[in-house]
Amino acid sequence: NAGVIQTPRHKVTGKGQEATLWCEPISGHSAVFWYRQTIVQGLEFLTYFRNQAPIDDSGMPKERFSAQMPNQSHSTLKIQSTQPQDSAVYLCASSFRQSNERLFFGHGTKLSVL
Amino acid sequence: QQKVQQSPESLIVPEGGMASLNCTSSDRNVDYFWWYRQHSGKSPKMLMSIFSNGEKEEGRFTVHLNKASLHTSLHIRDSQPSDSALYLCAANNITGNTGKLIFGLGTTLQVQP
């Protein structure tokens, strides 16, 4: 079991460019979460899917952020027109099925917007 | 304002000492609490979870929960330098089948040899 896989590990973009982050959840896990971590804001919830359906995107900045889960083996987080304040570590996590199951986090993608 | 508040922000304990970390939720809908540990440069990993009043012990780690006050605490006895990490408290609503965890800002623990 390779765990949750996130690619790329590091991404540098210029202000105004687009960034796409990828996540492969643990096989058999039905829930996929996206979080963003910074020193100031901590670990912030962005969005999550269950059985590929979007359940809650209340943490997503609506204008430029979007997330999809086209199949059970991967999810993407897309940030359009990136801004310096988007710089953070973006963490993907998956859990087996129920709400009382632990989250398994990937290593994260460190996004730096210059 | 953070819905999950942790204290202290940072804590230094000597090797072999006891570390006590606190966490309170301001969201009365939560009914499940989690403690995750994140070593520097690594991703968070679940340590313990609790949903019943009282305490739960696993090795050197003990978690307490007071559901009336929505307060949980994590106690680490015989602290080791390898326990130095960021400790994150999180909460969610299991009864409402709400999977998303809301995390606090964390407590940075440093165990000095």
pLDDT per residue as tens, chain B (113 positions): 679 999 999 999 999 999 999 999 999 889 899 999 999 999 999 999 999 999 999 999 999 999 999 999 999 999 999 999 999 999 998 777 677 899 999 999 999 99
Instruction: Kindly list the residues from chain A whose CB atom is less than 8 angstroms away from the CB atom of residue B100.
Output: 33, 45, 48, 55-56
What is the structure's pLDDT at A62? 84
Identify the pLDDT of residue B1: 66
pLDDT at B98: 72
Structure tokens at A46: 């962005």
Tokens of B102: 């809301």
How close, in Å, is residue B41 to chain A by CA atoms? 9
For residue A59, what pLDDT band results from cuts at 50, 70 and 90?
very high
- Whether residues B42 and A107 touch (CB distance < 8 A) is answered with yes
What's the CA gap between B48 and A28, in Å, rounded?
Answer: 22
Is B27:B91 a contact under the CB 8 Å cutoff? yes
Strand B107-112 to B10-14 pairing: parallel
How far, in Å, CA of B75 to CA of B79, rounded? 10
> Which phi-psi region, left, alpha or beta, contains residue A91 (left: φ > 0; alpha: ψ -120 to 50)?
beta
CB A80 within 8 A of CB A64: yes
HEC profile of A29-63: CCEEEEEEEECCCEEEEEEEEECCEEEECCCCCCC
Q: B39 to chain A: nearest residue by CA?
A: A107
What values do phi and psi take at A85, rounded to 5?
Answer: -75, -10
Q: How many CB pairs under 8 A join A and B?
A: 58
Say which amino acid occupies A90: Y
- Please report the pLDDT score of residue B13 as a whole number: 98
Q: Is the pLDDT of residue A99 over 80?
A: no
At residue A66, the pLDDT reads 97
What is the C-alpha end-to-end distance of chain A, expressed in Å? 35
- Which residues on A lie below 8 Å from B43 (Cβ)? 91, 105-108
Task: Give which of A74, A51, A42, A98 is closest to B99, Cα–Cα.
Answer: A98
Residues A9-31, mean pLDDT to the nearest whole number: 96
Amino acid at A93: A
Average pLDDT over residues A79-87: 96
Res. A73: pLDDT tops 90: yes
Stated as kind and residue range, the H or E segment containing B64 is: strand B61-66
